[in-house]
Amino acid sequence: MRAAFSSQKAVSKDLIVFCLNPEASDTVPQGVLSPLVGQMFFRATLFSAFGASKRWLAQNADGSPRDLTVTDYYAAGAMTGFAAAFVEGPIDFYKSQVQVQIIRSRADPKYKRAPLPLCPFTNWIRRR
């Protein structure tokens, strides 16, 4: 895969374009794109929450700007952690539920896997 990029330090954009290229489907390991996109979404949430909390903490009650203190950075980090738990918690819950269903269905042939929870496209995917 390294030979497909122009340099050893490939940018995220180059990696996504490479993974989405239909001609490269034989060289990309199966299941790489889903975690990559999921982590991009999660990291974007972290950076957005941290930036928004810093902007909120950098304003006085009258709306005038002020410099952040070390305590403000800790508070911004705590707000970011809350946002991360709020976003990542349900994602990890459903991901672990699906993993358990897959493992159990492989171990017990009589076990019938339930459709993916909260997935409106499940029936559409099955029909394809």
Higher-confidence residue: 77 or 6? 77
pLDDT tens-place string over residues 51-82 = 999 999 999 889 899 999 999 999 999 999 99
Looking at the structure, tell me whether residues 7 and 68 fall in a common domain.
Answer: no
**Number of independent structural domains in the chain:** 2
Looking at the structure, tell me whether residues 74 and 92 fall in a common domain.
Answer: yes
Looking at the structure, tell me whether residues 59 and 40 fall in a common domain.
Answer: yes
Looking at the structure, tell me whether residues 63 and 19 fall in a common domain.
Answer: no
Separation between Cα atoms, residue 84 and residue 24, nearest integer Å: 33
Looking at the structure, tell me whether residues 77 and 98 fall in a common domain.
Answer: yes
Looking at the structure, tell me whether residues 120 and 85 fall in a common domain.
Answer: yes
25 is written with which tokens?
Answer: 């489907």
Residue 43, number of CB atoms within 10 A of its CB: 11
* Range(s) of the domain holding residue 8: 1-30
120 near 109, Cβ under 8 Å? no
User: Residue 96 — very low, low, confident or very high, per pLDDT cuts 50/70/90?
Assistant: confident
Q: What pLDDT shows up at residue 88?
A: 84
Looking at the structure, tell me whether residues 113 and 61 fall in a common domain.
Answer: yes
Looking at the structure, tell me whether residues 51 and 93 fall in a common domain.
Answer: yes
| Nearest residue to 75 via CA among 48, 47, 56 | 56
Q: Provide the 3-class DSSP secondary structure of residue 65.
A: strand
